[in-house]
Amino acid sequence: MDQPTNTPFSQQISHLSKGTLDAELTATLTDLVKAINDHGKKGSITLTLNLKPEVQNGEVKMISIKPDVKVSSPQPQRLSSIMFPTYDGDLLRNDPDQAQLDLKTVDTQPKEEAKEL
């Protein structure tokens, strides 16, 4: 006697959430691959299927399946900045306790040579 063949998981996914889960996972995978290409770092997609039995008269009559998709995308490396706090809660780019020098740009282009009289 042949054993019954169960519906393949890939087909079950296409039926969940009225078909929107399959489309969401496809778009999520595409976005993750692009992020990995952009940043050269790893990422992951985690699919969790929460199955809840619906019991009637002590017997499982239906199973409710609620999917949860989590994505861990690579992030760009962000540079840190040094800021100086004030007592009133502001942040300044320059240290308020350090004197400011009045620096000027020096012209590095040679000037016309002086003519002899």
SS3 string of the chain? CCCCCCCCHHHHHHHHHHHHHHHHHHHHHHHHHHHHHHHCCCCEEEEEEEEEEEEECCEEEEEEEEEEEEEECCCCCCCCCCCEECCCCCEECCCCCCCCCCCCCCCCCCCCCCCCC
Region 91-109: mean pLDDT is 85
| Predicted pLDDT at 76 | 84
| Predicted pLDDT at 103 | 86
Tens-place pLDDT, residues 76-99: 888 899 988 888 888 888 888 888
pTM for the complete prediction?
A: 0.62
Domain that holds residue 19: 9-72
| Predicted pLDDT at 65 | 95
Residue 29 lies in a domain: yes
Residue 24 lies in a domain: yes
Residue 62 lies in a domain: yes
Region 2-7: mean pLDDT is 80
Residue 57 lies in a domain: yes
| Predicted pLDDT at 1 | 57
Residue 56 lies in a domain: yes
Residue 14 lies in a domain: yes
Residue 67 lies in a domain: yes
Residue 95 lies in a domain: no
| Predicted pLDDT at 96 | 83
Tens-place pLDDT, residues 18-62: 989 999 999 999 999 999 999 999 999 999 999 999 999 999 999
Q: Residue 117 — very low, low, confident or very high, per pLDDT cuts 50/70/90?
A: low
| Predicted pLDDT at 114 | 62
Q: Domain count for the chain, please give it.
A: 1
